[in-house]
Each structure stands twice: as C-alpha cells, then as structure tokens.
Chains A and B, each alone.
Chain A
Amino acid sequence: MVRTETGLIVRAPLTDLPIVLDAVSLAAGATKILDQITLTIRAGGPTLIVGPNGSGKTSLLRLCMGLVSPSAGSISWGGRIDRTPVRRAIVFQRPVMLRRSAAANVAYALARAGVPRHARAARVAELLDRVGLADLSERPARRLSGGEQQRLALARALARDPEILLLDESTANLDPAATRSVEQIVLSAAQSGIKIVMASHDLGQVRRLAGDVVFMLRGTVREQARTKDFLDHPSTPEAAGFLRGDLVI
C-alpha cells in the first residue's frame, strides 16, 4: 500500500495479482456451484466473465474477493493464501448502501481503507466527482437511483485504492445511459492501471470492455481466450451457441 500523499508510511507494495485458482470447487449442501475451476487472472486489460444466469459468475467473483472459502482446491493472491482483502474491492450486483449520505458512504470506505481523517474530505470530493455524483453528495444514499447507487458503490470501491476491482453484473438492471456512465468509470479505472474483473451476460459489453474473456457454464470454466478470438472463433460448441444467442443453459 503506497499512499504517500495521505501521510501513511510507505510499505513494500503488496500485490494481489495474479489470482490463481487451482481445481477450486464450491458446494452448498449437495449442490455443486463451482466444479474444479482452474484459472489464473493476471494483470492487464479487463477480464470479463460471461455465461448464462446460474453459471457461477457471482460465486467465482466472491471466491476471488475472498468472501467465501472453496470447498475443495486452493486459491492464492499474488502467491499469498491469506484471504484478507488488501488491495481488492468488489461492487455487488445490488450494492448495499449504508444509511447515510452519499459522501458519508465514501468517507466510510476511506476510513476502512486507512485514509486518515484529515485527508478524507478532499478524497471524498474527488471520488464523487470521478463517478459523476458531486451534485448528490449530501443525498441519502438509499434515495439514489439504481444507476447512481452503482456509481456510488464504484466510488466506495475505488476509495480502497484497489489493484483489482471485481464487478458483478454492474449494468444488468440499468438503462443505456446509466450503463454508459458506469462503463466509462470502469474504463477509466482500467486505464489507470486497475485490473478489472467483471461478470456480464451482455455481449455488447464484452465487445466494448474486455481484454480477455472467461466463459462459464454450469459451474465450470469452458473457455478463457482473448476477446477477439472468443468472439470470432469460440472453441467450444456451447460458447458458439451462447454467442449466436441460443438459449444455452
């Protein structure tokens, strides 16, 4: 964590990359949610996790964040197996807004990330501006629209100064305008060097954002490829069917 401008002591930068999943399975009772996933997420352009509903995208993100431990297999972040989210942040599909103002939500995340009190106000303003919510800073967060809540959740995630930003279907319930503003924030985060890992079932979004694609089906990873290769020459019939718009389940 290097954060000199806030007066923190500079520590040797820890990295959470690459995220390495080795034969990871996740079960809830008798149901296998994820089955034998072996996957490496490296630094670079955005990775989009695509697949139909119920294919395990959300569970994979929760594993990558360290919110759940695998039932079998192992997962490591930059070679460490400690699950504490040091430089990772996540935006859930339905983010929980704390019952306070938009600005206070961001300030809360900054406090948890160890930003000292005197440096917070300026960072809050900067982050709200970055996600286009500067005018709504004093609005109670729960009264924001769905798109505004997603952007506030993004600001909160960026407050952690993450190296990896995980996003779960962040635009699933948004109209095109709100989707565009979320995608612009995500792209600018990617350009500033943050590794984006985003679940989506929107192929247009894959085209617009992805550096590479992880295709999931029924709890397994079927393909991991560069976006262009995946879109033009999918190597499995299921992926080809998904791309054609067949109802792959």
Chain B
Amino acid sequence: MSNELSALQLIMTGDPALLAIVELSLAVSLCALVLATLIGMPLGAMLALVQFPGRNVLVVLLNALMGLPPVVVGLAVYLLLSRSGPLGSFGLLFTPTAMVIAQTIIIIPIIAAPTRQTIEDLWHEYRDELTAMDVGPIGRMLTLLWDARVSLFTAGLAGFGRAAAEVGAVMIVGGNIEGFTRTMTTAVVLETSKGNLHLAMGLGVILVAIVIAINAAVWTTRAWSEQRPG
C-alpha cells in the first residue's frame, strides 16, 4: 500500500521530473496522432473510393498492419535513422522527432483501416445523391470524411491510445534518455528494472488514468452522436 501512496504523493506534489516525462509522452503521441491523421484519413478514404489494380491486396495489408508490432517498427526506423542508415545524416536517432516518426508509422494503419471501412460504407449510402449533385472525386472524399467525423474521431482516439501506451518503438529509437527522450512507458520499464517501484507505480497510475480518460472521451462521443444523429 505504501508504494501506491508514494506514487500518488509524487503526482500531487507535481514533481518536475515526473511532469516533464508526462509532458513529453503526451507531446510525442499527440504529434504522431496529428501526422497519422493527416496521412491515414485521406489514405483510407482514397482506398475506399478509388478503384485500381491491387487495391484489395492493399486493403488486406492495411488491415493486417493494425497489428504491427511496435518493436519491429522501432527497429526499422532505427536502421533508417542510424548513422550508417539512409537517413542517418539528419542525426535524428535518439530524439523526440525519431519517436514521433516511429509512432506515426505504428498508428497510421490503426487510423486508416477503420477510415477506409467507414468511408466505403458511407459511400454506398451517398453514391447516388453525390453523383446526382455532380460532386467530383476530391469533393466526395471531403464530404464523406466530414460526414463520417464522429466515427473517425473514434478512430483517432484509438490511434492516440495506441501511441500513448506503446513502449517498444520509443525505447529503441528514443533511447530512454533522461530529460530528453524518456516517456512514461520507457520510464516504467526502467524504474521497474531498477527496483524503484514507487516512481514506476506513479507513472503507471498516470498512464492508466490517461487511457481511462481517452476511453471516457470515446464513450461520451458515441453517446453524444447517438443522441444527435444530425
């Protein structure tokens, strides 16, 4: 019981080192979410609306990539960004930028796959109406993305949850450097291995609280959208 109490004390007193870790975690995951949304939603919508050879293969691949292991992405990004790698000259390895890149890659499929499904279903409903209004390909995509906004918001939150909870990739490409690339998840791993269970538990409590907050947001959005189907 004393462990949990110490963890809560750390949170309550606003320990600066702890706050910095929380802040970095949220900033990295939020950046990854914004980038993955900007890439994943148009990508999903395009896969839903454009017919081209090999489309079905891409759809299956995209769905499979939702289960992409973060450590594998981390390794791939590590190889790309390491000194001898193709993008090594940018010197991005072991920086928050590298972590954002890795997390973006991990959650693009998590956002794009449900987007494709949602937009495809909506298109079946909207096809005649939009064709009759002479809406072009770009207009279709924007209209469907906007009208599917509630479902897509849920997809975005799922992506954010995945990014925030992920540990393997940020550990590999970030390096868990104190005060620079240490996130909640990597800190939990480190403090646990050091036997410093108070801090590990404190971070764990915050992480779980954030996950719960995200799920509460998803639930509230759903309830709101059911009440207001406009």
Cα–Cα, bound, A113→B134 (Å)? 8
Docked-complex contact B133 and A140, CB < 8 angstroms:
no
Q: Which of B89-142 contact A (CB under 8 A)?
A: 125-126, 128-129, 131-135, 139
Q: If A101-B230, A141-B230, A142-B230 touch, does A96 touch B129 (CB 8 Å cutoff)?
A: yes
A90 touches B147 (CB 8 A): no
Contact status A99-B230, CB under 8 Å:
yes
Q: Which of B125, B139, B230 contacts A100 (CB under 8 A)?
A: B230
Query: Nearest Cβ in chain A — how far from B27, in angstroms?
Result: 32
Query: Pick the contact of B132 from A65, A99, A108 — CB < 8 Å?
Result: A65
CB distance from B118 to the nearest CB of A (A): 12
| Cβ–Cβ < 8 Å partners of B149 in chain A | 99
Q: Mark A95-131, 1 if CB is under 8 A from B, else 0.
A: 1101111000000110011000000000000000000
The answer to whether the Cβ of A222 comes within 8 Å of any Cβ in the partner chain is no
Cα distance A154–B228 in the bound complex, in angstroms: 23
Q: Does B143 belong to the interface (CB within 8 Å)? A: yes
With the chains together, A113 CA to B139 CA distance in Å? Answer: 13
Contact pick for A90, options B132, B135, B139, B228, CB 8 Å? B132
When the two chains form the complex, which single residue of B126, B132, B143 contacts A85, counting CB atoms closer than 8 Å?
A: B132
Q: A143 to B229, Cβ gap below 8 A? A: yes
A85-B134, A89-B132 in contact; A142/B229 too (CB < 8 A)?
Answer: yes
A112 touches B135 (CB 8 A): yes
A67:B132 contact, CB within 8 angstroms: yes
Q: Are A98 and B147 in contact (CB under 8 A)?
A: yes
CB distance from A126 to the nearest CB of B (A): 19
Chain B residues bordering chain A, tally (CB within 8 A): 17
Partner of A160, one of B133, B139, B146: B133
Chain B, residue nearest A91 (CB)? B132
Residues of chain A within 8 A (CB-CB) of B125 are 96
Q: How far is A62 from B129 in the complex, measured between Cα atoms in Å?
A: 11
Per the bound structure, the CA–CA distance linking A99 and B128 in Å amounts to: 16
Interface hits, A68-100 → B, CB 8 Å? 84-85, 88-90, 92, 95-96, 98-100
Q: How far is the CB of B175 from chain A (nearest CB, A)?
A: 45
- Cα(A10)–Cα(B128), bound, Å: 29
* Residues A147-185 near B (CB distance < 8 A): 156, 160
Is A98 a contact of B229 with CB atoms below 8 Å?
Answer: no
Chain A residues whose CB sits within 8 angstroms of the CB of B228 once the complex forms: 140, 143
Cβ of A112 and Cβ of B230 under 8 Å apart? no
**Neighbouring B residues of A98 by C-beta, 8 Å:** 143, 147
Measured between beta carbons, the chain B residues less than 8 angstroms from A141 are 230
**A228 at interface, CB cutoff 8 A:** no
B126 and chain A: residue at smallest CB distance:
A96
Measured between alpha carbons, how far is A39 from B177 in the docked complex, in Å? 78
Assess whether A139 is interfacial by the CB under 8 Å rule. yes
Quick one: closest B residue to A166, CB to CB? B132
Could you tell me the distance in whole angstroms from the C-beta of B115 to the nearest C-beta in chain A?
Answer: 16
**List of A residues within 8 angstroms of B129 by Cβ:** 92, 95-96
Q: Whole-angstrom distance from the CB of B45 to the nearest CB of chain A?
A: 16
Residues on A with beta carbons closer than 8 Å to the beta carbon of B128: 62, 67, 92, 96
**Assembled-state Cα–Cα distance A89/B132 (Å):** 7
Q: A85-B131, A100-B147, A108-B143 are in contact. List 7 more A-B contacts (CB 8 A).
A: A62-B128, A84-B134, A96-B128, A99-B147, A99-B149, A140-B229, A160-B133
The 5 tightest CB contacts between A and B, nearest first, are: A140-B230, A96-B129, A99-B147, A112-B133, A142-B229
Pull 30 A–B residue pairs with CB atoms less than 8 Å apart, ordered by A. Answer: A62-B128, A67-B128, A85-B132, A85-B133, A89-B132, A90-B132, A92-B128, A92-B129, A95-B129, A96-B125, A98-B147, A99-B146, A99-B149, A99-B229, A100-B147, A100-B230, A101-B230, A108-B133, A109-B133, A112-B133, A112-B134, A113-B133, A139-B230, A140-B229, A142-B229, A143-B228, A143-B229, A143-B230, A156-B133, A160-B133
